[in-house]
Structure formats: structure tokens, C-alpha cells
Amino acid sequence: MNETDSIKDVTSHHCLASFWDRFTNGPLYWNTMDKVLFVALIMLALELLKFLCVLSGESIGSKQKIPVRGKHLDDLSSKDLLFIGISKAQTGPFLYILLRYCFQETNIQWTFNEDTSILQTVLLPLPVLFIVYDFFYTILHWFLHIKAIYPVIHKHHHHQKAPSRATDDAVNVHPVEFTLGEYNHLWTIFLFCRILNMRMHILSVLLFLAIGGVLAGWNHTRFDITFSIFGIVTIFDSKAHDVHHRIPQSNYGQYTMFWDNVFGSYRPYDPTDRINPKTQLDSKTGKSLNYAYIKK
């Protein structure tokens, strides 16, 4: 190895060490390129999330998919693509802001020690986070369906009556709606730490976001996925959100129907509702069986 190669190795090692130091010291110490790289990685992670939603849905979902009863949005318009792009572009900056808050929040732990209980600081906070999040999301969602407000913001999302594209259909919303929904996660974490004055590990925050992303993706597929406690109490059912897309004044919750049951807006899925065979989706194209006929 010559002197030039040695200098390059030293320089490379120094750059990696500097990056790792900035990364571990928190977002406050990131430079512009660190932030650009972070946003780019988040964009890639969103594509991976879409893939994982489909893969996991095929693995654990019912063999019988949710039949299409509303009109499927076979072709995405330029506006759809724009809103999907804006939503994905917003995710990186949102996560950066969330991480900045978490680094400064004294009730969020970043290391495990003898006093740290995984059950208490990682697992137990999760159901609380989801219940708190959905309380505000259910109210927000109901608000967006008020007759005077609905056409301005939320109507765009309901152009799709039979979601099928997982995260792409999930984030195909007006930028205002996406912003309110995303920052509701941060609001939920703030309430947990400051108002409830409870401690949790950063891993619980990351699981809250990751699990939420998967559940939101499943809600916008044709996979019939249900989780319940001992088969008695249903905690998640992808069919509930399918009902909402067809019958908007119902099932406002994102992850659970708990608050819809409390507020009286829950509407159960009816498997006996009429099905039009021609509107079902082609497994190869992802479009309606009568798509080619309609295009003619």
C-alpha cells in the first residue's frame, strides 16, 4: 500500500467516524447531507413497507380476499400521483422532527440498563399509543367528513372505493390531511410522555410507527386480515376500513374500531352484500376484470 492509499483510508475512516458521531449524537448534529441521506433512506423504506404489506398480507391474510363492492380506481390520475409523491416526500422531514423531539424528551430512553424493563418500556406503551392516536384520528376523520369540509380535503381519498395498492392507496390523500395524520403520531407520543408522564423506550416509538404503517397498508388492500383476543374481542380488522371507503359515514378509526364503538359510528362488515363479478380485480394486472371493456 502506497502513501496515497494510506491517506485515502485514513480520510475514509475519519469520515465514517464523523458521520457515526453525528448520527449517535442526535439529529441536532446532522449536517445538510446527513438530512438529505436520511430523507432518501426513508423514501426507500416506504417502498419496502409497501412490499412488506403485500408479502405479509399474502402470508397471514385469509385465502379469500375481500370482494370488490365499490368502484375500483384502476388508473391513477396525475393528481393522484402528485399527492402520493407529496405524502412520501413529507415522511422524511416528519420523522426527522419526531427524532429531534425524542432525543430531547426525558421520558424516552435510548439504552437498556438494569432498571429498564422491556415489558414496561417497550411493550406496554404500544396499546396505549394506538388507543390515544385513534381517539384523535377518529375525531379528525369525522371532522373531515363534515359536509362543508369534505369536498375540500378528504373527498380525494374516497375516489378509491375499493383500496388495493396498500401504502400507495393509503397515502393518496390531500397534503393537509396527510400532515394532520402524521403529526398526530408526534402529538400522541407527547401526550404519553408529558401528560401521562410515562416512560418508554425509543424502540416502542419505532414499533408504534412501523406497526402503524403496516396496519394502514393492510387497510388499503384486499387482504382479509383480522386480529382478536382469544377470538372474542377484535382489535384489528381490515374489512372495517373497506366498509368506510364504501360507506363514508362509518368506521372512522385508523387502527382499531374501539372509538367507533364508543361513539356509535361502527358499522360491521356484511359478507352478504351484493358482489358484481365483473368488478373484481385481475390478479395479474391489479385492475378490474371489466377494465379493458370500459376503456373501449
pLDDT in tens, 223-258: 999 999 888 899 999 999 999 999 999 999 999 999
Give the CB-side neighbour count of residue 155, counting CA atoms within 13 A.
Answer: 7
For residue 98, pLDDT over 50 is answered with yes
Q: Which residues of 141-167 are buried (b: 16+ CB within 10 A; e: fewer)?
A: bbebbeeeeeeebbebbbebbbbbbbb
Lowest mean pLDDT among 210-224, 237-251, 262-276, 278-292: 278-292
For residue 103, pLDDT over 60 is answered with yes
When the pLDDT of each residue in the chain is averaged and rounded to a whole number, the result is 90
Strand partners, 108: 200
pLDDT band at 68 (very low <50, low <70, confident <90, very high): very high
Query: What pLDDT score does 29 carry?
Result: 80
Cell of 243: 366498509
For residue 58, pLDDT over 60 is answered with yes
Residues 6+ apart with CB under 8 A from 169: 73, 160, 163, 220
Lowest mean pLDDT among 29-33, 175-179, 183-187, 292-296: 292-296
Query: What pLDDT score does 2 carry?
Result: 53
Regarding predicted confidence, which is higher, 129 or 61? 129
Q: Which 8-state DSSP code applies to residue 31?
A: -
Query: What pLDDT score does 154 carry?
Result: 97
Query: What pLDDT score does 35 carry?
Result: 87
Residue range 152-177: mean pLDDT, rounded: 97
Listed in sequence order, the DSSP H helices in the chain are 3-25, 32-60, 78-104, 118, 125-144, 167-170, 175-190, 202-219, 238-246, 258-263, 291-295
Which of 216, 269, 275 has the alpha carbon at shortest distance from 247? 269
pLDDT band at 65 (very low <50, low <70, confident <90, very high): very high
Lowest mean pLDDT among 90-104, 172-186, 281-295: 281-295
Residue range 83-105: mean pLDDT, rounded: 95
For residue 9, pLDDT over 50 is answered with no
Q: How many degrees, rounded to 5, is the angle at CA 184 between CA 248 and CA 177?
A: 45
C-alpha torsion angle, residues 137, 100, 26, 199 (rounded to 10): -60
Lowest mean pLDDT among 22-31, 124-133, 202-211, 246-255: 22-31
pLDDT band at 24 (very low <50, low <70, confident <90, very high): low
pLDDT band at 7 (very low <50, low <70, confident <90, very high): very low
Query: What pLDDT score does 31 carry?
Result: 85
Give the β-pairing of 226-229 and 233-237. Answer: antiparallel
Would the pTM of this model clear 0.85, i.e. be above it? Answer: yes
For residue 289, pLDDT over 80 is answered with yes
